[in-house]
Amino acid sequence: MNRPRFISLAGRIALAALLLTAAPAVAPAALTLPAAGRGVVGDGATLNTAAIQKLIDEASAQGGGTVAFAAGRYLTGTIQLKDGVTLRLEAGAVLLGSTRAADYRNLDPFTAGDGIPLGYALIVADGAKNVGIEGAGTIDGQGRELRAAQSPFTVRPFLMRWLRCANVTVKDVHLTNPGAWTLNFFQSRGITVERVTIRTRATGLANNDGIDLDSCDGAVIRDCDIDSGDDALCFKATSPLPSRNITVANCRLSTKCNAIKLGTESLGGFENITVTGCTLANIGMAGIAIYEVDGGDLRHVTVSDIAMDGVAVPISVRLGARLKVFRAGDQPKPVGTLRDVTIRNVRATGTRLIGLLINGLPGHPVENLALENIAIALPGGGTAEQAQIQLAEKENAYPEFSMFGRVLPASGFYLRHARGVTLKDVRTTPAVADARPERIFIDVAEVTPVLSAVTGVTPQSDSKPAETGR
């Protein structure tokens, strides 16, 4: 895929400034412990869990260092990184996940937004500082083989899981075939992920997200290449703490699901998140999905300079009232907020449904939404009968691009329950004629510029919501 070529000089300057906030890299340690000759066997058959863990513990006890794997295939169950330790996989080195469920541990069980219990991991760190994984090698979770060995498939390990860690670096490695999410960070800070390649789409497994940041503070993700079976880049907040102060730049994303997603799990909310300069292709669901449904506050989010081709819906935004919790002891919250979101410089071709699908709730509008310099090519072909469709509210439903159906009454824009919407150079172009209106706005107030001809817009001088979208 080609990277987008329309980033302005001002945009490049802003991007450079953002990248200066990168989390500190793990300082190189003088101690290097080669795995070879230390009881670790790279034959793809010998289980090395205890031998690898012994090396990690030794390096950490000596103040930190690198455990290095030369070319070979190293079978292991759950290994736990400790303070100051980096794993380095040289070219040709493959860390293989065991295909036996008994070889995995779950240090922090939780329930995902779809109700599935998760938390097992191949590589895990809990409360560790200055840790990381690097090198030109591969980590293969053997998720398909692990699933084949279980009935039902209940032990579903993440490839990597970083719990409550500080100063984490993951760079250059190739990640594939996890049992569940690939690269997961929870309540961690000072995160750098760069030049990582993730390939999970071909495994055919569910819930194999690319990168998940969950209730994290301070992260930079850049120059990564992700092709995933589930959401490619997903920000979550399964705890009451928000995900915040995150920058993503120059990534290539492809997925059966959503490419850039905030939510679904959104108890803690999201703040100060910037995604810029990314290319998206062959996206099964939404290109940009921004969902706050579990009572958190989502604010100060900017997505810019995005080129996408082959996508169900380029932009999908939802403030809902699912109001779930994900860990024992956490309490449900009331409806949250979704505000101060800017989406600019977006080009979308190969769109299959609608350009923009934006929904708040009655009495809980999406607020201060700026859409600027957006061009979306649409399929067209809608009928006058389809224009009569009335969409249900579905206040507590799981948020998704298709939650209101795959046939919509507008061809380009559907906005409902929003206040403070700025539209600047936003264009949708159908490939063939479409009998539906381009734009339907319902209970939408304070639109700039004033769009008096748009169906269902609440006039700025009138605080009453529009009753119909037609």
Q: What is the pLDDT of residues 328-361, one digit of tens each?
A: 899 999 999 999 999 999 999 999 999 999 999 9
In the DSSP assignment, the letter for residue 136 is S
Q: Is 388 helix (H, G, I), strand (E, B) or coil?
A: helix
Q: What is the phi-psi region of residue 196: left when phi exceeds 0, alpha when psi lies from -120 to 50, beta otherwise?
A: beta
User: Between the CA atoms of 8, 10, 13 and 19, what dihedral angle is there, to the nearest 10 degrees?
Assistant: -70
Q: Greater confidence, 129 or 206?
A: 129
Whether 350 is in a domain gets the answer yes
Q: What is the chain's Cα-based Rg? A: 23
CA distances (Å), origin 78, targets 35, 134, 140: 16, 18, 13
Q: What is the pLDDT of residue 115?
A: 78
Residue 192's DSSP bridge partners are 169, 220
Q: What is the pLDDT of residue 451?
A: 61
CATH number at residue 68: 2.160.20.10
- Nearest residue to 443 via CA among 456, 453, 429, 454: 456
CA distances (Å), origin 378, targets 224, 281, 381: 28, 16, 9
Strands 337-351 and 366-378: parallel
Of 130-144, 170-184, 197-211, 344-358, the poorest mean pLDDT is in 197-211
Whether 469 is in a domain gets the answer no
Residue holding tokens 């070529």?
A: 5
Whether 50 is in a domain gets the answer yes
The residues near 376 (Cβ < 8 Å, ≥ 6 apart) are 314, 346, 348, 351, 355, 356, 412, 427, 428, 429
- Please state the pTM of the whole predicted model: 0.90
Of 92-96, 176-180, 259-263, 446-450, the poorest mean pLDDT is in 446-450
422: containing domain: 9-457
- Nearest residue to 418 via CA among 455, 457, 450: 457
Element (H, E) at 305: strand 297-319
- Give the chain's domain count: 1
Q: What is the pLDDT of residues 63-78, one digit of tens each?
A: 999 999 999 999 999 9
* 374-401 mean pLDDT: 97
Whether 260 is in a domain gets the answer yes
Whether 465 is in a domain gets the answer no
Whether 4 is in a domain gets the answer no
Whether 13 is in a domain gets the answer yes
pLDDT surpasses 80 at 4 = no
Average pLDDT, rounded, for the chain: 91
Q: What is the pLDDT of residue 37?
A: 84
Q: What is the pLDDT of residue 112?
A: 79
Residue 142's pLDDT band, with cuts at 50, 70 and 90, is very high
